[in-house]
Chains A and B, each alone.
Chain A
Amino acid sequence: MKRQIIPFVWVAPVVGVITLFLLYPLFQAFWDSLHAGASGSGRSFVGLSNFRELLSTGAFLGAVHRTLIFTLAAVTLKLLIGGTAALILNRPFRGRNLLRSWLFIPWTIPLFAGGILFLWLLRMGGGLNLMLENVGIYPVFWLGPDHAMQSIIFLNVWKGFPFFMITILAGLQIIPRELYEAAQIDGATGFQQFRYVTLPGLRNVILIASLLSTVWTFAQFENIFVLTRGGPGTTTETLSILVYKLAFGMFNLNMGSAAAVLSLPLFLFFIFWLVKFVRKESEA
């Protein structure tokens, strides 16, 4: 009997934390989204009208659009850059460890600090433009409406590629050498080896890293907020920025909750696949 109680007691605090700070707020968000007005006497039930307003003004759909672009572009770039770096780092050469440590640095920098660094780098009179001016190129308005989205993608990729680099590097080192040797004996070229030995061996690693990164990139707030705050206008307003703006910028907690609730389906779509994949792996 006692043996049965112990595991429940031991997991209780963690389950409690998650329930209090995740499950309960989630229900609260649903509840809030169906109401309007400040808490207390001013509150009233308004059904789906918050959702209707969000969807009819295009604010929400615009944010979804921007979030998808941001997420897809950033994850793809991180995968390509990190993967390339991993492939190159997998070969021995002098100074390899030093280079690897150096390339790891952006990942150690706190998210908000990265945003601060880029604030200077990309502003009109800032680092990048000063360097461009010195080579005779007209300064570019990086944080303006035309390039703001590229700027936040750049920041996210700069900060996040080491994750892919390290994970894929670890994955490369697990692939048995014999497979490469066998392929070489069969006369496979470098490229064929890559295609038929490396990529399949990396399949799981790439899949899980990409899924995780997609969810985290989707949830990005700090970087974007510090660099552009969703601006100029709404050009870099992703879902996370929209929720914050509605709740704390436009003083409408109910609308913010509505936007948060509407963001769930997209997120659930991603984690469905992730949980499925991870559970399959842990059972294997």
Chain B
Amino acid sequence: MRASRWKVAALVLILLVLALAVALPLYWAVCLAVRPGSDVYAKRIIPSALTLQNFRELIFGRDWAGFKGVSFLVPLQNSLVVALTATAISIVISTFAGYALARFSFRGRELISSYILLAYIFPPFILVVSLFRLINALGLHDSLAAVMLLHLIIVVPYCSWMLRGYFLSVPKSLEESALIDGCTHLGALVRVVLPVSAPGVASAAIFSFTLSWQDMLFSLITLESHEKFTLPIALLAMAMGDLVQWGKLMAGALISIAPPAIIYLLLQRWIVGGLTAGSVKG
């Protein structure tokens, strides 16, 4: 018995080392974000003082990219609007598609399923040049609408695939009784299946939100004006701009990490289910 106790302890130690590696970058980010600017070059590991100055300057100072522009809250808001819109549109059309692929048998069903799977894992970088051309042709250069549209190709295939898998696992009995009672397919979907599928749909929505939140490539090729920047581009501008102010950069990074991290930690239960049901990017 004692031998196995040591064994467990040793194994847990391994995990603790891993946990340390996880913590390290975060520790430094928090450190830099809450210490006064002058401390950054002082080469100390533990901050000498704590201050929220960096966050204040980002939000109220409007000078995070080397000149007087907009508050850092603007990119935050832009990211939110884009992610919410892309997620909303995606959930609606993916619910219909996922359900149709799960329940109806029709010619082309397998083909379309494979089509969606292909789109789900297709590397965006192969498409980025052509999408740049497309956005310009549509006259949507430097617009948030373009980013929302482009995010659809990231989010919709995932959503459809996920929801298809989910609906396949929901027992048909409920809808069948509704249909026998004279309900239309749309009615069956909306009134019978969706309420039961709320966890799956919610899970898909959460993942879609984070997928949109973390995209940088599409925002990079579309946006120019600072007021339209999303969070990743704003951070990039700070990191590749003129003199890099590390404290503010880390504060900005933490602001961009907060929403998805909070969502995940609060809704862990559903996330794990979603991961195994549909598999998500890793």
- Nearest CB to that of A155 among chain B residues? B25
CB neighbours (8 Å) of B215 from chain A are 222
Instruction: Tell me whether A103 and B22 are in contact (CB under 8 A).
Output: yes
CB distance from A268 to the nearest CB of B (A): 10
Instruction: Tell me whether B12 and A93 are in contact (CB under 8 A).
Output: yes
Chain A 160-198 per-residue mask, 1 if CB under 8 angstroms from chain B, else 0: 101110110010000000000000000000000000000
- How far apart are the CA atoms of A6 and B28 in the complex, in Å? 55
- How far apart are the CA atoms of A229 and B261 in the complex, in Å? 26
| Contact A117-B29, Cβ < 8 Å, known A7-B100, A21-B150 | yes
Chain B interface, DSSP helix/strand/loop, else mixed: helix
- Name the one of B99, B116, B124 contacting A221, with C-beta atoms under 8 angstroms: B124
Instruction: Tell me whether B18 and A17 are in contact (CB under 8 A).
Output: no
- Nearest CB to that of B101 among chain A residues? A11
| Binding stretch for chain A, among B57-65, B193-201, B273-281 | B273-281
- Name the one of B19, B123, B268 contacting A215, with C-beta atoms under 8 angstroms: B123
- Nearest CB to that of B246 among chain A residues? A120
- Nearest CB to that of A252 among chain B residues? B129
- How far apart are the CA atoms of A273 and B123 in the complex, in Å? 16
Q: Answer yes or no: A60 CB below 8 A from chain B CBs.
A: no
Q: Answer yes or no: A70 CB below 8 A from chain B CBs.
A: no
Q: Answer yes or no: A253 CB below 8 A from chain B CBs.
A: yes
- How far apart are the CA atoms of A260 and B109 in the complex, in Å? 29
Instruction: Tell me whether A103 and B153 are in contact (CB under 8 A).
Output: no
Instruction: Tell me whether B18 and A170 are in contact (CB under 8 A).
Output: no
- How far apart are the CA atoms of A275 and B110 in the complex, in Å? 11
Instruction: Tell me whether A260 and B250 are in contact (CB under 8 A).
Output: no
Query: How many residues of chain B get a CB closer than 8 Å to chain A's CBs?
Result: 93
Instruction: Tell me whether B239 and A13 are in contact (CB under 8 A).
Output: no
Q: Answer yes or no: A209 CB below 8 A from chain B CBs.
A: yes
Chain A interface, DSSP helix/strand/loop, else mixed: helix
- How far apart are the CA atoms of A170 and B236 in the complex, in Å? 36
Q: Answer yes or no: A201 CB below 8 A from chain B CBs.
A: no
| Contact A221-B235, Cβ < 8 Å, known A102-B19, A116-B249 | no
Q: Answer yes or no: B134 CB below 8 A from chain A CBs.
A: yes
CB neighbours (8 Å) of B253 from chain A are 113, 116-117
Chain A 120-140 per-residue mask, 1 if CB under 8 angstroms from chain B, else 0: 110001111011011000000
CB distance from B258 to the nearest CB of A (A): 10
CB neighbours (8 Å) of A126 from chain B are 28
CB proximity to B under 8 Å, residues A222-249: 222, 225-226, 239-240, 243-244, 247-248
CB neighbours (8 Å) of A32 from chain B are 129-130, 133
CB neighbours (8 Å) of A162 from chain B are 282
Q: Answer yes or no: A26 CB below 8 A from chain B CBs.
A: yes
CB distance from A273 to the nearest CB of B (A): 12
Instruction: Tell me whether B221 and A248 are in contact (CB under 8 A).
Output: yes
- Name the one of A108, A117, A212 contacting B261, with C-beta atoms under 8 angstroms: A108
7 interchain pairs, CB-CB under 8 A: A14-B156, A18-B116, A22-B127, A103-B15, A120-B29, A212-B279, A216-B281
Mark B residues whose CB is within 8 Å of A: 8, 11-12, 14-16, 18-19, 21-26, 28-29, 32, 41, 43, 45, 93-94, 96-97, 99-101, 104, 106, 109-110, 112-119, 121-134, 149-150, 152-153, 156-157, 160, 168, 185, 210, 213-217, 221, 231-232, 235-236, 239, 246, 249-250, 252-253, 256-257, 260-261, 264-265, 268, 272, 275-276, 279-282
Q: Please give 14 more A-B residue pairs, beta carbons under 8 A apart, in addition to A85-B15, A226-B236, A243-B125.
A: A4-B106, A8-B106, A18-B156, A29-B129, A88-B14, A93-B8, A107-B282, A116-B250, A120-B29, A170-B275, A215-B121, A216-B282, A219-B125, A260-B129
Mark A residues whose CB is within 8 Å of B: 3-4, 6-8, 10-11, 13-15, 17-18, 21-22, 24-26, 28-29, 32, 39, 78, 81, 84-85, 88-89, 91, 93, 99, 101-114, 116-121, 125-128, 130-131, 133-134, 158, 160, 162-164, 166-167, 170, 208-209, 212-213, 215-216, 218-219, 221-222, 225-226, 239-240, 243-244, 247-248, 253, 256-257, 260-261, 263-264, 267, 271, 274-275, 278-279, 282
